[in-house]
């Protein structure tokens, strides 16, 4: 009995460590957004986007090879994404207004927090979602690439954004349910990165959803 309690304590501690690291990542990203707003000219944003994509691909390759990323990698990446997020938030702010964008961030926090709490305390196994979520995420990426060349109507953006909200909500359930079983300390940065990407993408798709119903075309 005591051995079981010790294992449970270690597992909860691992999840708590992941969530703390994720929270720090959000704060670092927020600082990156402030830096982007005050110091980074728009002409240099594309350079940060390229670095962001390269780092994301590197993290994906390392994950496929079973290698861990460092805390330095995590915080540098989240700072860079903060810089690249500023023009996106500014654009949505111009369409929706600052108050609506702030409300979207609050809604993202509430949804993410509620799902994470449910997945952490629930005894349900959400691992069955993994294959579907991966395929659906690839579909979202394809839609994103197509949208660079095709101007979708508000109805299409509405469906696309709702799908994105559901998919990344599913990722929150899936990832938290995986981490509640306990993970190796070296895997914490990668786990926090997964949660960070879930949060940011959920936020972006909530903004897309609001634009589709309040701001005409995205």
For 139-151, the pLDDT digits (tens) are 998 988 888 787 7
User: Considering the entire predicted model, what is its pTM?
Assistant: 0.89
> DSSP characters for 75-130?
HHHHHHHHHHHHHHHHHHHHHH-HHHHHHHHHHHHHHHHHHHHHHHH-----GGGH
With 0-12 CB in 10 A as exposed, 13-18 as middle and 19+ as buried, what is 165? buried
Domain boundaries, the chain: 2-214
- Rounded distance between C-alpha atoms, residue 188 and residue 122, angstroms: 21
Identify which has the larger pLDDT, 37 or 152.
Answer: 37
pLDDT band at 132 (very low <50, low <70, confident <90, very high): very high
Specify the 3-state DSSP secondary structure of 157: helix
Mean pLDDT of the chain: 89
- Rounded distance between C-alpha atoms, residue 15 and residue 74, angstroms: 17
| 41: DSSP letter | -
Check whether 95 has a pLDDT greater than 80.
Answer: yes
Q: Which of 161, 173, 163 is nearest to 198 (CA)?
A: 173
- Would you mind telling me the total number of residues written for the chain in this entry? 218
Mean pLDDT of 96-119: 95
């Amino acid at each position: 009995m005591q051995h079981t309690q010790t294992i449970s304590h270690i597992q909860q501690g691992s999840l708590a460590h992941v969530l703390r690291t994720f929270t720090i990542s959000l704060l670092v990203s927020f600082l990156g957004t402030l830096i982007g707003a005050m110091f980074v000219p728009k002409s240099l944003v594309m350079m940060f986007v390229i670095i962001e994509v390269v780092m994301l691909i590197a993290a994906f390759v390392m994950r496929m090879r079973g290698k861990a990323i460092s805390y330095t990698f995590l915080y540098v990446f989240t700072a860079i994404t903060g810089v690249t997020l500023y023009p996106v938030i500014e654009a949505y702010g111009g369409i929706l207004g600052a108050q609506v964008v702030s409300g979207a961030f609050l809604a993202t926090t509430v949804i993410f927090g509620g799902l994470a709490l449910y997945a952490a305390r629930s005894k349900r196994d959400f691992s069955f979602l993994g294959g579907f979520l991966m395929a659906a995420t690839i579909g979202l990426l394809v839609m994103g690439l197509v949208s660079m060349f095709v101007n979708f109507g508000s109805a299409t953006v509405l469906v696309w954004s709702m799908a994105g909200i559901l998919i990344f909500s599913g990722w929150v359930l899936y990832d938290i349910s995986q981490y509640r079983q306990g993970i190796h300390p070296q895997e914490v940065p990668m786990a926090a990165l997964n949660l960070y990407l879930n949060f940011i993408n959920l936020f972006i798709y909530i903004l897309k959803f609001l634009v589709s119903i309040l701001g005409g075309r995205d």
